């Protein structure tokens, strides 16, 4: 049990589909993150939410749309993706009241775009 | 900006061999240092951490010492097991409050394969 739960674990979608990734944490953290992990590339930070407010958007294409309805839930809405978007998408959370705290990750959603 | 450099993999070792994965960093302030591990099919999980110079983090037989003079945080284990096969990430985050979230700088990861 990681404390951060991501669903689905695997997703295959066509380029014209619309799907959503879900992340849920019950660790009492107020910051939540989306990372993209591609083969042979460093981890890429996509979005950060702090107390439900988006505080970071690292030039992510608009075909990725995050949503954070409360501090425990985070979504990533996907539409008209490209094959190069195939990757492992990781959600993480952390406390916000002090620096130097570790991130807590979910097990990720393995996305394949066909 | 901050950066983390760790040795390229993959690293292949026989069971019970000694492990060292090198990690060096550059940072403008006084960061906390971390090692995360990612087992196949899973997300990253914290392996160990150190928050100030000369601190030693340890967990599951792994150790790493925060060396400010050499800006290093090398991961070591005296006797690896097949179950240690995973990808290991060195990372840092600034200790100063950074506006409500952790600005983490990750290394590129080192894949370890332990063979029986």
Distances in Å between the Cα of B44 and the Cα atoms of A67, A108, B24, B52 are 22, 9, 20, 23
The closest CB to that of B43, out of A2, A30, A48, belongs to A2
Please tell me the distance from the alpha carbon of residue A92 to that of residue A4, in angstroms, as a whole number.
Answer: 7
Per-residue pLDDT tens digits of chain B, which is 116 residues long: 899 999 888 999 999 999 999 999 999 888 999 999 999 999 999 999 999 999 999 999 999 999 999 999 999 999 999 999 999 999 999 876 666 788 899 999 999 999 99
Please tell me the distance from the alpha carbon of residue B7 to that of residue B24, in angstroms, as a whole number.
Answer: 9
Length of chain B as a residue count: 116
| pLDDT tens-digit series, residues A69-108 | 998 999 999 999 999 999 999 999 998 777 788 999 999 9
Q: Comparing C-alpha atoms, which of B3, B45, B33 is closest to residue A93?
A: B45
Contacts of A31 in chain B (CB under 8 A): 100-102
Disruptive mutation site among B1, B34, B40, B102 for chain A (greatest number of A CBs within 10 Å): B102
Contact A94 B102 (CB under 8 A): yes
Please tell me the distance from the alpha carbon of residue B65 to that of residue B73, in angstroms, as a whole number.
Answer: 6
Disruptive mutation site among B43, B99, B107 for chain A (greatest number of A CBs within 10 Å): B43
Residue % of chain A over a pLDDT of 70 = 97
> What residues contact residue A114 under an 8 Å CB cut-off, 6+ apart?
A12, A13, A14, A15, A83
Please tell me the distance from the alpha carbon of residue B94 to that of residue B104, in angstroms, as a whole number.
Answer: 8
Contact A55 B99 (CB under 8 A): yes
Average pLDDT over residues A39-58: 86
Peptide bond into A96 cis (omega under 30): no
| Beta strands at B31-38 and B44-50: parallel, antiparallel or unpaired | antiparallel
């Amino acid at each position: 049990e990681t404390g951060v739960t991501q669903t689905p674990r695997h997703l295959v979608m066509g380029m014209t589909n619309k799907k959503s990734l879900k992340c849920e944490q019950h660790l009492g953290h107020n910051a939540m993150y989306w990372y993209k992990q591609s083969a042979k590339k460093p981890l890429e930070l996509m979005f950060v939410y702090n107390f439900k407010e988006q505080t970071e958007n690292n030039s992510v294409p608009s075909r990725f749309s995050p949503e954070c309805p409360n501090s425990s839930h985070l979504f990533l809405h996907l539409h008209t993706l490209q094959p190069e978007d195939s990757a492992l998408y990781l959600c993480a959370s952390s406390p916000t009241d002090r620096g130097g705290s570790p991130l807590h990750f979910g097990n990720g959603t393995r996305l394949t775009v066909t | 900006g901050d950066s983390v450099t760790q040795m390229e993999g993959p690293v292949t070792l026989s069971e019970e061999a000694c492990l060292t994965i090198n990690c060096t960093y550059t940072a403008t302030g006084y960061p906390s240092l971390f090692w995360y591990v990612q087992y196949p099919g899973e997300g990253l999980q914290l392996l160990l951490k150190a928050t100030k110079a000369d601190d030693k983090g340890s967990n599951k037989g792994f150790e790493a010492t925060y060396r400010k003079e050499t800006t290093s945080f090398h991961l070591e284990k005296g006797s690896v097991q097949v179950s240690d096969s995973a990808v290991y990430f060195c990372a840092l985050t600034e200790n100063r409050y950074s506006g409500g979230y952790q600005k983490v700088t990750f290394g590129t990861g080192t894949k370890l394969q332990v063979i029986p």
